[in-house]
Amino acid sequence: MTKTILATTTALATLWSAAAYAEKWDMPMAYAASNYHSEVGAAFASCVTEATGGDIEIVTHPSGSLFPGDQIKRAVQTGQAPIGERLLSAHQNENALFGFDSIPFLATSFDQHAKLFEAAKPALEELLASQGLTYLYSVPWPPQGLYFNKPVESVADMEGVKFRSYNNATARLAELTGMLPVQIEAAEISQAFATGVAESMISSGATGYDRKVWESLTHFYEVDAWIPRNTVFVNTAVWEGVSDDNKKIIQDCADKAAVEGEKRAKDYTQFTLDELAKNGMEVGPPSEQLAAELREIGQTMTEEWLEGAGETGQKIVETYKNSN
């Protein structure tokens, strides 16, 4: 009987000890659960939870349900959440380098963008580290196109249109085309268009498909302006408390997520454009006039970004161009 009591006590102590050291990481995400970024994030979370044997359980919270998109980065920095996903270009006002992936017409294909990301990644990791964040992985969006609720043949047709912006680049694009920028997070897009708060945006086919924008908008122009990225990062203080074995597991899961995310982005691109068309939207390239005018605006924005990003930004662009 004594042996039985001792065995039971030991087993309970072991279970208690495991529970005491197990960690739950809530992971805020800005986009819908059905969006491939959120699905890749959920698979990453499951990978970590299973491979660490439950030592670290990651629970994702999509659609801005835990923190709105614009609060996620700050929440992780301040320890309100240990890990999160964010479109870092939305924080270009903090540092121009966060907007490396929103330089108009610099890298418009996935192959070009992969080279741009490789050129920018060391500086991005260093910048995040200076803010108490540790980079884990990043996944691209499909190329960005222009959505409208009317035909647009030239920049002049954009005058006065209420334009959903999500970072410095989109706000500046609105200014240079005569549109009126309105800051709207992804979770609020459908309502913004339905109520007339916004009438246009630049985004991927993926966002338009997820939010069923054909209920309010009529045209999508494949201008392929840039390819932004969502980035997953962890609070550095939290990261430093993770065992070396679990760090390796998390990084392995992150590497898998990056590969799967890029594949999903490529596969999703044409699918979502086809779905926009199936649901009644006019989908196609811009007119020659509109394309030419947008490229002129893109050149202005590129020069402005390079000025703001300084020597580090210049080096990123030079490294990228030399890789082509």
Q: What is the pLDDT of residues 133-151, one digit of tens each?
A: 999 999 999 999 999 999 9
Token representation of residue 153: 């043949």
pLDDT mean over 246-275: 97
pLDDT in tens, 170-180: 999 999 999 99
For residue 5, is pLDDT > 80?
no
The residues, ordered by sequence, that sit 6+ positions from 102 with a Cβ below 8 Å of its Cβ are 89, 92, 167, 168, 169, 170, 226, 228
- Report the C-alpha gap between 66 and 82 in whole angstroms: 12
Domain boundaries, the chain: 23-324
What pLDDT is recorded for position 275? 97
- Report the C-alpha gap between 206 and 74 in whole angstroms: 26
- Report the C-alpha gap between 276 and 279 in whole angstroms: 5
Q: Please give the biggest Cα pair distance in the chain.
A: 89
- Report the C-alpha gap between 240 and 132 in whole angstroms: 11
Neighbours of 261 (CB within 10 A): 25
Please compute Rg for the chain using Cα positions: 22
Token representation of residue 139: 């996944």
- Report the C-alpha gap between 84 and 75 in whole angstroms: 8
Q: CA dihedral defined by 26, 244, 36, 269, rounded to 10 degrees?
A: 150
Q: Work out the pLDDT band at 21, boundaries 50, 70, 90.
A: low
Class of the 23-324 domain?
alpha beta
pTM of the model: 0.88
Token representation of residue 121: 């990644």
For residue 82, is pLDDT > 80?
yes
For residue 276, is pLDDT > 80?
yes
Specify the amino acid at residue 145: G
Outline where DSSP puts E strands in the chain. 23-28, 56-61, 83-87, 133-140, 145-148, 162-165, 180-183, 200-203, 219-221, 229-235, 282-284
pLDDT mean over 245-250: 98
Neighbours of 215 (CB within 10 A): 11
